Chains A and B, each alone.
Chain A
């Protein structure tokens, strides 16, 4: 009982109880400025955090008004200073939160909670730069930065309507991170919006560093290796998704925006598919899907065939395959594991090192280790080709998160190939597919156009039909307004094409 009492007493240690308590706590904080301003007519206490507030702005635009002879009380200050969104409050929670956002607090008496809060936030961040991770050859290059306001600005520029809305939430017991849920009212499904907001509100966390961290916490199945959201650094992609009826989440301090809900096909669609003519875009998509299939099972099929199913090797391949295999003393399984391990090491080393060094590592690893291991007889050069191709295919995936998944699922496949041969691969595939059928993203089915089958949504999945045929928003989002434009009118307006023979 004794312990319980103490606990209750220390229930909310983060929140200061009174203004004087707050000042006392901040006494030893070096960048906290707290002084008494003595004007001719008016005395007041000014407090702000130097590193967060824009001091220059305060000196230029706020403090002169405190000297004015028209000012006699806090209410006068509020009237005189020409700044919008000033707050007059006695609420300690607001005062503390605003102080740490960079606002300036003006009090008439040091110990009284009656405060005027003046916005003086210093906006300083990275310039908007080219996107580094999701690069595209054609199309916009802007990428998000760490400031949520700048990011919303980038999106809003592309959606100039009042229906574009965002709801602000604050999560994190200590960090109180600002989370913005972006959507277009009337297009996005209300249930989806509510689900996302509800899940964000229900989070019990201390801090929130990045948007992807939030995504991991609010996704439907935390144990699934398949990502159930898209994180992007491209504002054009976010705007496109919002127009489609999706929801985006932007977090203060994160250069990634989340797009929810997501279906599996979208991970294999690069955004610049929309900037290419449709037969080419379709061909690239099919190429990518093939690459993903190849990448996940190529090495395991090698293991299965060489361990159990020799009959499957075509006659004309047997001589070359067996000359390269005879030098290798290990079982195919070990051989493949060694090689996959090597590739993963190279990738990880390349990712952690600075770009230039990373490239060198790639070349050194790829050429030197690859050639040397074949000559030393650790692996066969046939396998080297397969592994290199499958690694290459895994990197084709436009989404980095999905690329890691694709690389990861190789290992269960290899293991099952070693255990049960081709049947093992088949069963492993079955397990993954039954998992995918079960999976949802914000309650929407994950492999949507495939199952539940929506023929209408197939126009932008494996294939991408011309843009003037994409007159309906994806069905799986259950959008508020399913029509993008009137297709009848669009086709009417298009110039009637006459055959040249008819002239």
Chain B
């Protein structure tokens, strides 16, 4: 069995909670805004983003309660919770289901980004080549542990600041009258849009896997909320700018509206600066892929402690390369993204609250039993 506390040399600083949450949430979703919400809510898409943002924060609160209740019993991650509540076999099955979701996330990211790079930067890029290179880098980082991943996600935040500042260049082209009339859609349409928006925030729930690595969980929680808040503000910005930038008809036909926004970017010495901006997306890919790989290797190691984590990592990386290469067309990638969104929201909004209730119930029964 693994030890209950993580040695101090491997702990994450509380502020890493902010960067990890932020980078995992953004994933590749910021490229699509406000396109997924336009169909349902039109110019009111920003309301949906706002509602789903607050809902995400509520769920995050639940998740932290769930994890903190686990403190007296051992390690505060989902693997230990499952094993404690459901026994070894059933717990492992549930762990594997959650890990399947993480693998899906990993494959989604690799597919989406290789598609983006193929379309926007390097048409000759083969998905196999790209995913192999990314997986080699990932393996190198993951071997160094979660602290290195925290470092990469911090650098991601740093590098993304100029990218999002480039939205300033869109200001002359914005027509805020596009946002009018406000509240023009029915409540059900807004709720549908919020459901689509909730998918954008997925990734924050991965904290259930690396929560015990925070040395000071109290402070880490605050930073995690701040991370969600930051990405909410960012999403809100992107939605409003996106809606004001293009007509709704154009938006429904654009796959990556963010790239259209970047086209307004102009810097000296280079034409087509959006291509240079695309380079920074490598940074949004790598921390997320690293976190996913790290989680998967940890999960496998939890179930089969006799084997070394290194070999699991190689296996996971090879598997993800194979899965990524098996998805060829854009439609397949869209489908797997939808699948990820569906399963992700199901896990976050249905499964985790239920687990929270079960944990509470379990505790009560036990107390009664003891009395």
Contacts and interface: CB of A to CB of B under 8 A. Distances in A.
Given A423-B117, A427-B134, A453-B154, 20 more contacts: A309-B121, A309-B272, A312-B271, A314-B268, A314-B269, A422-B275, A423-B122, A423-B279, A423-B282, A425-B279, A426-B280, A430-B282, A431-B140, A434-B140, A434-B286, A437-B148, A437-B152, A437-B155, A438-B141, A453-B15
A417 to B, nearest CB: 11
B28 to A, nearest CB: 16
Given A423-B122, A426-B282, A434-B140, A451 B151 contact: yes
B125 interface: yes
Q: Which one of B269, B275, B280 has the greatest number of beta carbons of chain A within 10 Å?
A: B275
20 contacts: A311-B271, A311-B275, A312-B275, A312-B276, A314-B269, A420-B122, A421-B121, A421-B122, A422-B121, A423-B117, A423-B282, A426-B279, A426-B280, A427-B282, A433-B152, A433-B155, A434-B286, A437-B141, A450-B155, A451-B155
Contacts of B270: 312-314
Contacts of A433: 152, 155
A427 B114 CA distance: 13
Contacts of A312: 270-272, 275-276
Nearest to B158: A450
B125 A434 contact: no
Contacts of A450: 155
Contacts of A435: 140
B140 to A, nearest CB: 6
A480 interface: no
B13 interface: yes
Interface in A382-439: 420-423, 425-427, 430-431, 433-435, 437-438
Interface string B310-340: 0000000000000000000000000000000
Contacts of A431: 137, 140
B181 interface: no
Is chain B's interface secondary structure helix, strand, loop, or mixed overall? helix
Nearest to A424: B122
Contacts of B96: none
B274 to A, nearest CB: 10
B283 interface: yes
Contacts of A422: 121-122, 275-276, 279
A450 B271 CA distance: 31
Contacts of B150: 451
Contacts of B282: 423, 426-427, 430
A276 B155 CA distance: 31
B133 interface: yes
A54 B102 CA distance: 75
A452 interface: yes
A485 interface: no
B140 A452 contact: no
Contacts of A420: 122, 125
B279 A451 contact: no
Given A312-B271, A422-B121, A434 B154 contact: no
A452 B13 contact: yes
A56 interface: no
Contacts of B152: 433-434, 437
B275 A437 contact: no
A427 B271 CA distance: 22
A109 interface: no
A330 to B, nearest CB: 21
Interface in B128-170: 133-134, 137, 140-141, 144, 148, 150-152, 154-155
A314 B137 CA distance: 33
A421 B268 CA distance: 20
A143 B351 CA distance: 69
Main secondary structure of the interface of A (DSSP, over half): helix
Contacts of A425: 279
Interface string B342-360: 0000000000000000000
A438 B143 CA distance: 9
B137 A427 contact: yes
Interface in A73-108: none
Interface in A450-464: 450-453
B125 A423 contact: yes
Nearest to B283: A430
A315 interface: yes
A67 B282 CA distance: 84
Contact of A434 (B15, B148, B272, B276): B148
Interface in B75-131: 117, 121-122, 125
A322 interface: no
A315 B269 CA distance: 10
A431 B272 CA distance: 26
Counting chain B CB atoms within 10 Å of each CB, the highest count among A308, A315, A427, A435 belongs to A427
A311 B154 contact: no
Most buried by B among A423, A433, A452: A423
A433 B141 CA distance: 10
A434 B141 contact: yes
Nearest to B281: A426
Interface string B236-275: 0000000000000000000000000000000011111001
> Most chain-A Cβ atoms within 10 A of its Cβ — which of B137, B140, B271, B283?
B271
B112 to A, nearest CB: 15
A384 B180 CA distance: 56
B121 A423 contact: yes
Nearest to B270: A312
Interface string B40-62: 00000000000000000000000
A156 B150 CA distance: 42
A64 to B, nearest CB: 63
Contacts of A423: 117, 121-122, 125, 279, 282
A311 B275 CA distance: 9
Interface string A351-392: 000000000000000000000000000000000000000000
B358 to A, nearest CB: 38
Interface string B274-294: 011001101100100000000
A435 B141 CA distance: 8
Interface centre among A311, A425, A427, A430 (most CB of B within 10 A): A430
Nearest to B268: A314
Contacts of A434: 137, 140-141, 144, 148, 152, 286
B120 to A, nearest CB: 10
A89 B50 CA distance: 85
A451 B121 contact: no
Given A423-B279, A430-B286, A437-B148, A314 B271 contact: yes
Interface string A205-219: 000000000000000
B271 A438 contact: no
A312 B271 CA distance: 5
A302 B275 CA distance: 15
Contacts of B137: 427, 430-431, 434
Contacts of B151: 437, 451-452
A309 B270 CA distance: 11
Interface in A296-316: 308-309, 311-315
A191 to B, nearest CB: 12
